[in-house]
Amino acid sequence: MSVSTCRSRMPPNQDDSPRSVQGLDAADRAIVLATQAGLPLVPEPWEAVGREVGMSGEEVLSRMQQMQARGVIRRVAAVPNHYRLGYVANGMTVWNVDDTQVTWLGREVARIEGVSHCYRRPRHLPHWPYNLFAMLHGHSFGEVEHQAEAIRELLGEACRDYRILYSSRILKKTGLRLAGARPSAASAEPERRG
Amino acid sequence: MQCHVQDLDRLDRRLIDSYQRGLPVCTRPFHTVAERLGTSEAEVIARLERLQSLGVLSRVGPVFDHARAGASLLAAVAVPEAERDVFAELINAAPGVNHNYAREHDYNLWFVMTASDEPELEARLEALEARLGVPILRLPMLEGYHIDLSFPIPWAELERI
């Protein structure tokens, strides 16, 4: 990991406890770093990861299972590129919803078809009045607009304003990078990192 | 660009449909998958490699919960449209940035900043803010209502495209 371009501030004091608040120790973090770009596609992937991080395959597997049990890992999966599979219209919808109602309404919005993520986030007035975010995915922009209309109806009077922010360009998209990175195991071209 | 879905046969589609929600986490996961699908481990591995190289699969591996695996937040900046790509390069080069999208709004660059913990996250944001010379809108998740990135893939519909 290079921080050579960021000299303007000193890093703040580090948490000196052996585990971070998320309960990942150094070995867990090494496994996260070694697997977040994808697993090696070999018969015994945990053995291969273990060779990279200096652990046995059994240890890697056991830690993966524990991280999954704790919810740090949601799943180990074949992660599709939805855009390439027909979900070409993606809209980030942002809503200005009554603070006293946003929690229950957010749960309802999350049930609407086409919604992948739904979060409450802080407002930053006056520039940013929106406190509810819902990511919509469809096969066309028309479909995304129908989904947004369904949310508008659901929110009713509790919603003062909303916007659909389409992505005009994907400038970077990778899986989670925790801290530092390694070249993607899945890619023939190593990713350049600053 | 979309893939040529006609190039994906029944086994490819079953692999994607069945395993986007989760692979077995065991010593030889691809062997277990192969047994379930009635094929060989080598065949499963070869197919996954091909689907990755076609870009149909982004990767085969763990999906982390950002909130539990470290610190992250959604961030946005409003930059002059004509200089957007220059700002985007600076953002992409900063440590910890993963997604970066141009969106049609005054806040026209949207990205996710990640770090191992909250202090490091804020330090990264401040360092990037100093480089960009514009304030970064910080939008951490306060509550999450639903997070599911698996969708039914509309194979039949895609065949007609």
Q: CATH no. for residue A118?
A: 3.30.70.3460
Residue from A63, A171, A187 to probe the interface with B (highest B Cβ count within 10 Å): A171
Clarify whether residues A55 and A93 are in a common domain.
no
Give the percent of chain A with pLDDT over 90: 54
Residues 119-138 of B with CB under 8 A from A: 119-120, 122-124, 126-128, 130-131, 137-138
pLDDT at site A20: 46
Task: Tell me the average pLDDT across A151-162.
Answer: 96
* B72 shares contact with chain A (CB less than 8 Å): yes
Clarify whether residues A95 and A140 are in a common domain.
yes
Q: b/e for B45-69, b at 16 or more Cβ within 10 A?
A: bebbeebbeeebbbbbbbbbbbbbb
Task: Tell me the average pLDDT across A123-141.
Answer: 93
Clarify whether residues A60 and A96 are in a common domain.
no
Taking 70 as the pLDDT cut, the residues of chain B under it are 1-4, 66, 146-161
Domain count, chain B: 2
Residue B21 placed within a domain: yes
pLDDT at site A103: 96
Domain of residue A132 covers 82-166
* ipTM score of complex: 0.75
Residue A139 placed within a domain: yes
Tell me the C-alpha to C-alpha distance, in Å, between residue A160 and each of A112, A128, A152, B140, B142.
20, 13, 10, 22, 20
Domain of residue B107 covers 66-139
Clarify whether residues B76 and B55 are in a common domain.
no
Q: In what order do the strands lie in the sheet with A115-120?
A: B137-139, B71-77, B109-115, B97-103, A159-172, A89-97, A132-138, A115-120, B143-147
Q: Is residue B158 helix, strand or coil?
A: helix
Q: B139 or A115: which carries more pLDDT confidence?
A: B139
Say if CB B158 and CB B5 are below 8 A apart.
Answer: yes
Clarify whether residues A49 and A117 are in a common domain.
no
**Cis previous bond, A126, omega within 30:** yes
Clarify whether residues B32 and B90 are in a common domain.
no
pLDDT at site B159: 65
CB-nearest to A171 from B53, B62, B101 is B101
Contacts of B115 in chain A (CB under 8 A): 178-179
Mean pLDDT of the residues in chain A: 79
Clarify whether residues B133 and B70 are in a common domain.
yes
Residue B82 placed within a domain: yes
Q: Is the pLDDT of residue A179 over 70?
A: no
Clarify whether residues A89 and A61 are in a common domain.
no
N-to-C CA span, chain B: 12
Clarify whether residues A41 and A65 are in a common domain.
yes
E strand intervals along chain B: 57-64, 71-77, 97-103, 109-115, 137-139, 143-147
Q: If you measure CA to CA, which chain A residue comes closest to B111?
A: A172
Clarify whether residues A37 and A87 are in a common domain.
no
pTM of the model: 0.71
Domain count, chain A: 2
pLDDT, tens digit (0-9, with 9 covering 90-100), for B96-143: 898 888 998 999 999 999 888 899 999 999 999 999 999 999 999 999
DSSP run (H or E) holding A29: helix A26-35
pLDDT at site B115: 87
Give which of A84, A86, A91 is closest to A147, Cα–Cα. Answer: A91
pLDDT at site A192: 29
Clarify whether residues B73 and B120 are in a common domain.
yes
For residue A2, name the pLDDT band (cuts at 50, 70, 90): very low
Clarify whether residues B81 and B128 are in a common domain.
yes
- Residue A61 identity (one-letter amino acid): L
- Say if the Cβ atoms of A41 and B60 lie within 8 Å: yes
* B96 shares contact with chain A (CB less than 8 Å): yes
pLDDT, tens digit (0-9, with 9 covering 90-100), for A83-98: 788 788 889 999 999 9
Clarify whether residues A57 and A96 are in a common domain.
no
Residue A2 placed within a domain: no
Q: Is the pLDDT of residue A17 over 70?
A: no
